[in-house]
Amino acid sequence: MAHQHRHQPQHTQEHIQDHAHAHAHGDIDFGTMIPMLEGQARLFAPLYADALAWLSRQQPEPGLIVDAGSGPGIISGYFAEAFPEARIVAADASAALLERARENAERLGNADRFSTVEAELPNGLGELEYPADLVWSSRVVHHVGDQRAGLIALAAVLAPGGTLAVMEGGLPERNLPRDLGFGRPGLETRMDLIEQTWFSEMRTTLPGHVRETEDWPALLTAAGLRPSGTRSFVLDLPAPLADEARAYVIGVFDRRRSMFGEELDAEDRATLDRLLDPDDKASLHHRPDVFVLAAHTLYTATKPGE
């Protein structure tokens, strides 16, 4: 069931790393993740700018853009800025995040061409005013039990000739040198392995979970679309980091500590605790060598018919 909300200015009351929340879908409360999602989307602005520039060459003048799984709508705002003539619809399963997205649209002065739809994939996005010329979905489809059905639902709202852009996968992010000067070198690689296991287990708990070969162009083809491109976009913030970027990295490591710190061996857990200790000069709070290097992959496909 999808509910569409026109933006109503009179109702403007105030609600890794995205797997930071919990151990199962039922436990993930995306609504509590507003500061993290917003901080990350802001830090990653240069990456989204590159991705949107690439997309705008495929869809130069979209009339209606859907940001599916918009979260708090920071990325919806980037679309509104990059495509000043377009209407933007933010769709999400979380009413709290959509409320925040409406506040953000208001703050940016985009409210007159912005609306929201409460919808849970893989169910449809409901009746949009028009078919969409561009549907963007970043880091959402992997939260849907049946990813193939999720893509079919996203493809269903596209106009003929419209583009679906799905951001999924890429490379594990790196924030530290291999050897930190203490502990066993290679901590981040070992945390990636644990996170992969955690992630696979999280997926099996999603409603209607189907194991799928995550060949995104093949899945987009199965959804009736024609793959039109695959490109990875990089965020490269070298050390020394500005305060916001450092705070982001501390947040990423802090969530890892609470999510799966107990699964690390004792030496790695001690290393992680040192990294998170604000009183330790070698921690993430003080060390000069912290950086952000991330690569996210965008898959695009168009709906035949034009």
Ligand X SMILES: C[S@@+](CC[C@H](N)C(=O)[O-])C[C@H]1O[C@@H](n2cnc3c(N)ncnc32)[C@H](O)[C@@H]1O
Q: Which residues of the chain form contacts with ligand X (CB under 6 A)?
A: 18, 30, 37, 41, 69-71, 75, 92-94, 97, 120-121, 138-140, 143-144
The CA-based angle 227-230-232, given to 5 degrees, is 160
d(CA 95, CA 4) in angstroms, rounded, equals: 11
For residue 146, give the DSSP letter.
S
Quick one: 40 or 302, whose CB is closer to ligand X?
40
- Give min distance, CB of 12 to ligand X, in A: 20
Q: How many helices (H) and strands (E) does the chain have?
A: 9, 8
Residue 113: alpha-carbon gap to chain centroid: 23
For residue 72, give the DSSP letter.
T
Secondary structure class of 11 (helix, strand, coil): coil
Quick one: 41 or 180, whose CB is closer to ligand X?
41
- Give min distance, CB of 242 to ligand X, in A: 20
- Give min distance, CB of 88 to ligand X, in A: 13
Quick one: 138 or 271, whose CB is closer to ligand X?
138
- Give min distance, CB of 38 to ligand X, in A: 9
d(CA 27, CA 243) in angstroms, rounded, equals: 31
- Give min distance, CB of 167 to ligand X, in A: 7
- Give min distance, CB of 259 to ligand X, in A: 14
Quick one: 44 or 253, whose CB is closer to ligand X?
44
Q: Report the largest interatomic distance among the alpha carbons of the chain, rounded to a whole angstrom.
A: 61
Closest CA to 145 of 25, 8, 237: 25
d(CA 93, CA 124) in angstroms, rounded, equals: 11
d(CA 293, CA 237) in angstroms, rounded, equals: 6
Quick one: 204 or 265, whose CB is closer to ligand X?
204
Strand partners, 293: 174, 236
Quick one: 134 or 187, whose CB is closer to ligand X?
134
